[in-house]
Amino acid sequence: DAGVIQSPRHEVTEMGQEVTLRCKPISGHDYLFWYRQTMMRGLELLIYFNNNVPIDDSGMPEDRFSAKMPNASFSTLKIQPSEPRDSAVYFCASSLDGLVANYGYTFGSGTRLTVV
Amino acid sequence: DAKTTQPNSMESNEEEPVHLPCNHSTISGTDYIHWYRQLPSQGPEYVIHGLTSNVNNRMASLAIAEDRKSSTLILHRATLRDAAVYYCILRKGNEKLTFGTGTRLTIIP
């Protein structure tokens, strides 16, 4: 298995532009998570899906952020319009059962977003 | 949520064992103890987890105190590739994975 695949690996965009981050989870994993990592706040959970349905988006910072999972093998995190404070590394993770304490998460390599 | 306490940083010599401590004095009976690590420029990576008994896998060993209020992640022979931030996390059922600040491990050649 290729693991969780994220694209692009790096993204530089200008303030006000729309940014779309992509994630392909591990086949068969029913849970998908989006995290953000900054020096100030560490790793934060933004949103997670179960069987392609968003379950908890309480970590999404504001309405400029949206996430979708149109099918079991693809998810996007969109920021529109982007702002410099959105600069961070965004990670996607998947799990067989994300709410069972005995199961682990597999993370992708992340997308480093820089908004100038 | 039950919390964990880890040292901010540790150093260890290459090819020597490393013992990474974690205190979790408010742990409940249903909390699993998970360890993840994050190598530079990578996403977090699962290392090991346990409930009450010590656990071993190809990456590390997890030693859990009898009262479960502390645990230790043991890397038996550290290499330069083990330099990372190590996170000790408590999880019970229906909880998502939540990260603290972890321990930054530096391996000295």
CB A107 to CB B92 under 8 A? no
Residue range A4-18: mean pLDDT, rounded:
97
Is B45 an 8 Å CB contact of chain A?
A: yes
CB A98 to CB B49 under 8 A? no
What is the secondary structure of A68-104 as a DSSP string? EEEETTEEEEEESS--GGG-EEEEEEEESSTT-TT--
Residue range A30-55: mean pLDDT, rounded:
95
CA dist A48 and A92 (Å) reads: 9
Band the pLDDT of B1: cuts 50, 70, 90: low
B85 pLDDT above the threshold of 80: yes
CB A101 to CB B100 under 8 A? no
- From the list B32, B97, B98, the residue facing A102 with the nearest CB is B32
B17-65: pLDDT as tens digits = 999 999 999 999 889 999 999 999 999 999 999 999 999 999 999 999 9
B2 pLDDT above the threshold of 90: no
Determine the pLDDT at residue A1. 66
Q: Name residues whose C-beta falls within 8 Å of residue A42's C-beta, 6 or more positions apart in sequence.
A: B99, B100, B101
Residue range B101-105: mean pLDDT, rounded:
97
Is A97 an 8 Å CB contact of chain B?
A: no
The two three-digit tokens of residue B60, written as one number = 């590390």
pLDDT over 90, % of chain B: 87
Q: Which of chain A's residues have a Cβ under 8 Å away from the Cβ of B94?
A: 99
